[in-house]
Amino acid sequence: MLISLHMPKCGGTSFRELLRTHYKLRYAKDYDYPLHQTFKQRTQEAESARKWIRIKHKYLFQYRFTRCIHGHFLPYKYDYFYGRDGTAFITWMRDPIERLVSHYYYWQRSYQNINHPKYLQKKVIEEEWTLKEFALSEELRNIYAKFLWNFPVEQFDFIGITEYFEQDYQYFAQHYLGRDDVSVPKKNIGSEHSKPYFNDNGLVRDIKSYHARDYEIYRFALKARKLRQKTY
């Protein structure tokens, strides 16, 4: 089974198309939207789901038939499958500041097109948060670490880097799907690079310090990619 964690604004929407078309009826989505929950809510939900999966997986058609699960969730809920033959945990990451900027502008431009916006997006838009406020908010601090609660980054079999999306996309398709015939889709591409960015170097340092745990995780992902390239 392939368990694919979709980190927000890291290319997951484009990547999802590859998984969905490859696995077809054996593809399942799982969007818990952990960011829109409190720490207590999302961790309790993950614990509950984890216990349920560990007890019921043998009897559930979903887990006997499904070969790929993709979405926004805490991977800890699926840790029963970790280390089992035929199971791989994968995700994508990008520079945390770039991810924050992309996330902020995506929520800005998508808000009017959502019938029922999730709690945190609604708060950001209706309270008119600036990009700086967004980047230095507790709710958006260390997004990677929030998703990886009780599930160390070292347990991922593959971490694609969004800045090298085409190369890593092709690598994944060849090594995990046995395919070398894929074309790289371009979906959900934002216009954030045309927006104002952080011009204050001191502020950039503050943001990097505030998201130090995410930069630590991101550096691990970059090192893992370099090691992967040596054998490719």
Which CATH number goes with the domain that contains 193? 3.40.50
Please report the pLDDT score of residue 151 as a whole number: 97
Please report the pLDDT score of residue 191 as a whole number: 47
Please report the pLDDT score of residue 58 as a whole number: 65
Buried b (16+ CB within 10 A) or exposed e, 49-70: bbeebeeeeeeeeebeebebbb
CA distance 200 to 181: 44
Q: With CA atoms as reference, report the closest residue to 144 among 132, 153, 155.
A: 153
Q: Is the dihedral of CA 98, 99, 105, 109 positive or negative?
A: positive
**Unique residue bearing structure tokens 């309790």:** 44
Mean pLDDT, the chain, whole residue set: 89
Please report the pLDDT score of residue 195 as a whole number: 47
Ranges of the chain with pLDDT below 50: 189, 191, 193-195
Please report the pLDDT score of residue 186 as a whole number: 62
CA distance 49 to 30: 12
**Separation in Å, CA 155 to CA 7, 36, 74, 82, 152:** 16, 25, 13, 8, 6
What is the residue range of 56's domain? Answer: 2-230
Please report the pLDDT score of residue 229 as a whole number: 85
For 224, phi and psi rounded to 5 degrees?
-60, -35
Please report the pLDDT score of residue 62 as a whole number: 63
Which pTM was predicted? Answer: 0.91
Please report the pLDDT score of residue 194 as a whole number: 41
**Number of domains comprising the chain:** 1
Please report the pLDDT score of residue 231 as a whole number: 76
Strand 27-29 relative to strand 68-71: parallel, antiparallel, unpaired? parallel
